[in-house]
Structure 1
Amino acid sequence: MVRVGVSLYYTARRATPLTDAESAAVSQVVSTYNENAPFSAQEEGLYLYDRLEPGTVLDGSTKMPAADDRAIPSLVHWLSAVTALRNVVPDADWTLTLDDYEIEWDGHTGYHLPGLTD
């Protein structure tokens, strides 16, 4: 069976650009989560795009692994990573999707999918 991969897409928009402190914090989150990924040698990590549209301060994607035994641990890890990114830039208008499925923000738990960690 051939499985088509899915990706997380994350975007933060606001009128003011990232401050130097926010940029440094974003870089730290990316480094920390990419270095501590469950399958770091085999899978894609947080990838932030260099070219941003006006009003966009952060834009990126992460491809999820196709292997069933890697998909759930990876998704849990990357949802936590995007939660950490959002915590660095909390005053932006954030969008997170798993392909076309929008993942809602929860003020207590961050980004998660019901039943994912059960």
Structure 2
Amino acid sequence: MGFSIYYTAKRDTPLTPVESQRIDAIVQSFDVIADVERYAPTGKGLNWESFRRYETSRLTGAEVFSGATALPDNKPLAMHKGARHWIECLSGWAVC
């Protein structure tokens, strides 16, 4: 059984291009692709999944940002570490 976090941000105005670029930069700074690529062939480390931001075409109503990411779950405290990592990422962009 796996666990995922789902995230949605809503407001009355759409993101500006500058805000969207800032979010992309923050997400990139928290990227775990190297960990994903290392785990796949070796099984070493956590079974991370990359941060997933839904396409704007999937947004509804006042949503300006939405996505979901599975948490690692292959070691003790892996989910805790994964949740903490992605919450820090989400907290970083929430202040842009």
Structure 1-normalised TM-score?
A: 0.63
Number of the residue aligned with 1:47? 52
Displacement after TM superposition at 1:8 (Å):
0.8
Report the residue type matching 2:82 in the other structure: S
Report the residue type matching 1:71 in the other structure: M
CA contact (8 A) 2:7 2:66 kept: yes
Q: How many residues align?
A: 84
Report the residue type matching 1:32 in the other structure: S
Q: For residues 40-68 of structure 1, give each alpha carbon's deviation from its aligned partner in whole angstroms, at most 9, with x where no partner exists.
A: 43421211100211211000111001213
SS at match of 2:12: coil
Report the residue type matching 1:28 in the other structure: A
- Of the candidates 76, 82, 93, which is equivalent to residue 85 of structure 1? 93
Separation in structure 1 between the aligned mates of residue 69 and residue 23 of structure 2, nearest angstrom: 15
CA contact (8 A) 1:18 1:57 kept: yes
The unaligned stretches of length 5 or more in structure 2 are 38-46
Number of the residue aligned with 1:67? 74
Displacement after TM superposition at 1:72 (Å):
2.1
The unaligned stretches of length 5 or more in structure 1 are 89-118
Q: For residues 18-38 of structure 1, give each alpha carbon's deviation from its aligned partner in whole angstroms, at most 9, with x where no partner exists.
A: 01110000110111111488x
How does 1:25-40 map onto structure 2 within 5 Å?
25-35=22-32, 39-40=35-36
Separation in structure 2 between the aligned mates of residue 84 and residue 12 of structure 1, nearest angstrom: 13
Separation in structure 2 between the aligned mates of residue 26 and residue 40 of structure 1, nearest angstrom: 21
Q: Identity, % of aligned pairs?
A: 30
**Higher helix fraction (1 or 2):** 2
Structure 2-normalised TM-score?
A: 0.76
